[in-house]
A and B are shown apart, each in its own frame.
Chain A
Amino acid sequence: MLYNNNKIALVDCNAFYVSCERLFNPSIEKKPVVVLSSNDGCVISRSTEAKLLGIKMGEPYFKVKKIVKENDVKTFSTNFSLYGDISRRIMKTLKQFSPQMEIYSIDEAFLDLSSIQNENLLEHGCNIRKTILKWTGIPTSIGIATTKTLSKAANYIAKKEKSGVVDLINSKNIDEILSKIKINDVWGVGGQLTKFYINNGINTAYDLKNMHNGWIKKNTSVFGSRTAMELKGIPCISLEPHQTKRKSCCVSRSFGTKVTKLEGLNEAITTHCLNAAEKIRLDKQTVKKITIFIRTSPFHAKNNYYANSKDIDLPIRTNDSIILIKQALLALKSIYKEGYRYQKTGIIFSGLKDTDIYNKNLFSSLNNDEKRIKLMKAIDHTNFKYGRNALSVAQAGFKKKWNIKKQHNSKIDTACFDFLPVVRIV
């Protein structure tokens, strides 16, 4: 085996959204709690107590409603402004433990711990965990190993340990630990690959680690062999401290109430378009391809089910909301069918590139472009100052009947003066 000096920690928050809801609400500390996706569609975060009741990740709310009622499970709608602020605090706190850090998601980060002596790694991990808990109130699990994939595996085990920290670098029984991890729980092994591996007798992380390199290279993609190499302790996926810009941007929502008419869908698509366009302008990017999709509930009887999508390749890349909306609505019209009760719609902008790569097209009028860029800047500036949708297009609708108010929002926002948490004097 190659000698590898890397020391990588994966810090992952435990049931992050639930933990955020609990931070200012001690009455739900020991109770089963779930957080539901937008418009209360699916379960996207579960407390340990909720997991024990058999509530699965991603399950639609109506399927677990019975368990929720019978066991008095506390349910919350997402409060992303709160989660975002708590996440920012966690990442800031983590930064002091390692200058080299990759924020992997809202609740996960990889840290480079190569400056820490091997014998101090476990203690260091425990210290990180203790500090995050004290400073932000959020419990975490930490896995330390020589590669990212192994640190993910260590984290998976740490989630089940009381200490919350697992260090594979000083561990003598890595193989024993890896044999406890099912192949579908290995980072980077998706549904298709899982099937293929199981068919070939590879059931655990340990099995994959022991496969011959040649066999893996021959039978899987470059990503497949990367995962296997990383399990062997050979780093193939490096830490990326600088955030790479997104290559695509998706905004989609389930409707609060089902939508049947084209007007309602038009409003939703326009709203999503505006949100996505604002995001990419913030990152100074432009769009080449728009995809829109609509579908009814997959739980409906077969003859009532309809789902379709449409791609539009733009002749000139742009980040102009008005052009994007126009194209998206044309696409929507071409796939809309009357007589269905639509449950979800969304939009994906892809082929994103930096604005400065923006090529002027032979047919684009220079003057008009300048004006539009100024208009977009004015819209973004206004909305930043006075709240999203302060300036919108009328097409996005005013009442937005499809977007009913969230039912169980905790209404606490640690980053907004009007919604600060409250304490009592008794």
Chain B
Amino acid sequence: MKVLLPFHVNKVGAGFPSPATDYVEDDIDLNAHLIKNIPSTFLIRVQGKSMNNVGIQNGDLLVVDRSLNPKNFSTVIVNINEELVVKSFIKEKNQTFLTSGSKDKINLVENPEIVIWGVVTYTIHAL
């Protein structure tokens, strides 16, 4: 990952020293903010339809962290029928489900072969 160096406003030399010097911070590094765990985080492109209820649209870039465990309403990448797809993860009482929008729920207890691939932490959408 790229490490960005702080931009020092005040060069050595003449003139009144910039009053901001003491407040110089690093340039904003999106990687540092969007990626908590570098080795387990993957960028994955969305193809197909959109999931408007969670704000994911065709062509978006998903930041996916494999090290996280899904919580209620997490957006997850799952391996269903030999394909990686995006779903919402829902917890109800002692049951867990996968849904996409309002459509059919998949009960995870009844389908133990379904594996959660990773948890989506951010979606990057080009305007």
Chain A interface residues (CB < 8 Å from chain B): 24, 26-27, 29, 88-90, 92-93, 134-137, 414, 417, 420-426
Contact = CB atoms under 8 A, between A and B. Distances in A.
Nearest to B47: A422
B45 A425 contact: no
Interface string B54-68: 001010011000110
A357 to B, nearest CB: 31
Contacts of A135: 37, 39-40, 66-67
Interface residues of B, number: 29
B85 interface: yes
A421 B118 CA distance: 13
B66 A136 contact: yes
A422 B84 CA distance: 8
Contacts of B100: 425-426
Contact of B83 (A89, A421, A424): A424
A426 B85 contact: yes
B85 A424 contact: yes
Nearest to B60: A425
Sorted nearest first, the 6 A-B pairs with minimum C-beta distance are A135-B40, A27-B82, A89-B39, A92-B39, A26-B79, A424-B48
Contacts of A134: 40, 66-67
B23 to A, nearest CB: 33
B44 interface: yes
A254 B48 CA distance: 39
Interface in B63-88: 66-67, 77, 79, 82-86
A425 B50 CA distance: 7
A26 B86 contact: no
Given A90-B39, A135-B40, A136-B39, A425 B82 contact: no
Contacts of B108: none
Interface of B: 37-40, 42-51, 56, 58, 61-62, 66-67, 77, 79, 82-86, 100, 117
A425 B48 contact: yes
A425 B117 CA distance: 14
Given A90-B39, A93-B39, A136-B40, A425 B66 contact: no
Contacts of B79: 26, 29
Contacts of A88: 39
A299 to B, nearest CB: 37
B64 to A, nearest CB: 8
A423 B38 contact: no
A26 B83 CA distance: 6
Nearest to B77: A423
Given A420-B44, A423-B62, 4 more contacts: A90-B39, A422-B84, A425-B50, A425-B51
13 contacts: A24-B84, A88-B39, A89-B38, A89-B39, A135-B37, A135-B40, A135-B67, A417-B43, A421-B44, A421-B45, A425-B47, A425-B51, A425-B85
Contacts of B50: 425
B43 A420 contact: yes
Contacts of B42: 414, 421
A93 B40 contact: yes
Contacts of B83: 26-27, 424
Contacts of A422: 44-47, 84
Given A26-B84, A137-B66, A426-B100, A420 B37 contact: no
A134 B86 CA distance: 18
Contacts of A414: 42-43
